[in-house]
Amino acid sequence: MGLQRARWPAGYGRACDPRPSSWSVGVLLPRRHAGSLFPGGKRDPADQDVVHTALRETHEELGLVVPEDHVWGILQPVYDQNKTTIAPVLAGVGPLDPQSLKPNPEEVDEVFALSLAHLLQMENQGYTHFRKGSHYHYTMPVFLHGPHRVWGLTAAITEFALQLIAPGAYQPRLVISGLPRV
């Protein structure tokens, strides 16, 4: 397979209620010192798998204990610029006030939450084009929320999650001619 599981950082999306009829789903995002969002980190030797890594990191970074049976699943892996594999883990935690969390000040600068309703509003969605030299190299989604911009791999992971959680309500708007729409 070629992938070293010990190098798989795990991301964690927070969702309140999986029932589409309630739409009370949200994403909890800690803004980390390194600029990334979502709790995550490298697998410790004691971690059984990426789920345990994600749950441990969520507890270490946010003080939030998420039982293993609240994990909904693992999204498709994504890769950063260093080719590190990131395995996003999606879990339900019920209603949660970000103010009740205890973020680790050595790892987290701020915590904010986005509701599914906010993420689904087209005025809060966009795309960022990245250049390499004088040419566009790639395009990624961005989600806007007041002073916050969710972009990069965090936005890509959020977009994957939205396609699963709200398939009829969210469709990526980026269309590149010659490529099939996913």
* Closest to 150 in 3D by CA, of 26, 9, 52: 26
Mean pLDDT, the chain, rounded, equals 75
Distance CA 64, CA 39 (A): 11
Band of pLDDT at residue 174, cut at 50, 70 and 90: low
**Span between the terminal Cα atoms of the chain, in Å:** 25
Band of pLDDT at residue 135, cut at 50, 70 and 90: confident
% of the chain with per-residue pLDDT over 90 = 10
Band of pLDDT at residue 168, cut at 50, 70 and 90: confident
- Given a cut of 70, whether residue 151 has pLDDT beyond it is yes
Distance CA 95, CA 153 (A): 25
Torsion of CA 162, 78, 15, 33, to 10 degrees: -120
Distance CA 15, CA 170 (A): 16
Ranges of beta strands (E only) in 52-124 are 71-74, 78-79, 85-92, 108-115
Band of pLDDT at residue 2, cut at 50, 70 and 90: very low
Residue 107 to residues 41, 44, 55, 75, 148, Cα–Cα distance (Å): 11, 17, 16, 24, 18
Distance CA 3, CA 85 (A): 8
Helix (H) / strand (E) element for 12: namely: strand 10-15
Work out the average pLDDT over 165-178: 72
Distance CA 39, CA 55 (A): 9
Band of pLDDT at residue 165, cut at 50, 70 and 90: confident
The model's pTM is 0.75
